[in-house]
């Protein structure tokens, strides 16, 4: 930074300041000091310029200290906000990952449902064809009766499984003839 000499007037006295700040800014600060000294002089008629300048200096130091405290509080709050934001971002990332997993699982289950629906369609078609074949052979009523008996037996005996054959009666008839 380039430093330069800036001359200002405060209460009739010239001061040469060496600063890297803009000349207009330095002049505005000097004007503010002059206004504050005059205001302090108006509020108390028995103070000289030096006493007024000290009161202004005390007032400015107090303002600075309060501003620094406020700045520290704001920085602390900003740090907490940043920390909360980071935690929320982490949670958001975890939720996005869980959502992606759920979407993938949902997609997989949807595919599985389609496969099962297709298998059900094929089995229903095969079941219809088998019923037609049984009707042609006159065995449909026998099979349905056997299935009803099996259901009743399951309900009565706690779901005991029995297997029936379409050919049981034919085998019995053959065995009876022999």
**CA gap 53, 46 in Å, rounded:** 14
Query: Are the C-beta atoms of 44 and 30 separated by less than 8 Å?
Result: no
* The pLDDT of residue 178: 46
Greatest C-alpha distance within the chain: 145
Query: Are the C-beta atoms of 48 and 35 separated by less than 8 Å?
Result: no
Q: Which residue has the higher pLDDT, 47 or 138?
A: 47
Say if pTM beats, i.e. exceeds, 0.85: no
Among 20-29, 116-125, 130-139, which stretch is predicted with the lowest mean pLDDT? Answer: 130-139
- Stretch 103-127: mean pLDDT: 95
Helix ranges (H only) for 15-160 are 23-43, 49-137, 140-157
In the predicted model, is pLDDT for residue 167 greater than 90?
Answer: no
* The pLDDT of residue 162: 57
Which stretch of DSSP H or E encloses residue 169?
helix 168-177
Which stretch of DSSP H or E encloses residue 21?
none
* The pLDDT of residue 163: 62
Cα of 64 vs its chain's centroid, Å = 41
pLDDT tens sequence across 45-97: 888 889 999 999 999 999 999 999 999 999 999 999 999 999 999 999 999 99
């Amino acid at each position: 930074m380039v430093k330069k000499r800036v001359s200002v007037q405060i209460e009739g006295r010239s001061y040469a300041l060496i600063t890297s700040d803009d000349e207009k800014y330095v002049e505005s600060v000097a004007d503010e000091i002059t206004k504050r000294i005059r205001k302090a002089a108006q509020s108390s008629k028995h103070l000289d310029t030096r006493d007024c300048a000290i009161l202004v200096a005390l007032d400015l130091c107090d303002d600075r200290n309060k501003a620094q405290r406020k700045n520290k509080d704001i920085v602390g709050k900003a740090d907490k906000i940043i920390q909360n934001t980071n935690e929320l971002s982490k949670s958001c990332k975890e939720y996005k990952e869980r959502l992606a997993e759920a979407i993938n699982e949902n997609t997989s289950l949807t595919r599985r449902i389609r496969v099962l629906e297709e298998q059900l369609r094929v089995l229903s078609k095969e079941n219809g064809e088998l019923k037609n074949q049984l009707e042609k052979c006159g065995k449909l009523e026998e099979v349905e009766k056997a299935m009803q008996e099996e259901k009743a037996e399951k309900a009565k005996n706690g779901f005991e499984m029995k297997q029936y054959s379409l050919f049981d009666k034919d085998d019995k008839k053959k065995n009876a003839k022999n």
